[in-house]
Amino acid sequence: MERLLTVDQVAELLGTTVRFPRRLIEERRITFVKVGRHVRIPESAVSAFVAANTVEPVTVRRSVLRRVA
């Protein structure tokens, strides 16, 4: 069985306040599990969220910069 994280643990893992993962849950932007009245987030859902929102840097060639400037 996969490890389920608390909202506090997810906030610490992402380096944010607790409000951010709670907002992700409220807006249904991350997968979560209800265990009674408790909310848990699978570790894989946190990894998938980070992967889906990772922005890769763009490399610009110097010749393009000269034309723009």
- Global pTM reads 0.79
Per residue of the chain (69 residues), give pLDDT as tens. 899 999 999 999 999 999 999 999 999 999 999 999 999 999 999 999 999 999 999 887 776 566 655
How many whole angstroms separate alpha carbon 61 and alpha carbon 65?
7
- What fold, for 4-68? Multidrug-efflux Transporter Regulator; Chain: A; Domain 2 (1.10.1660)
How many whole angstroms separate alpha carbon 45 and alpha carbon 1?
14
User: In the chain, what are the domain boundaries?
Assistant: 4-68
> What are the DSSP E strand ranges found in 2-68?
4-5, 33-35, 38-42
Identify the CA nearest to 20 among candidates 57, 48, 46, 59. 46
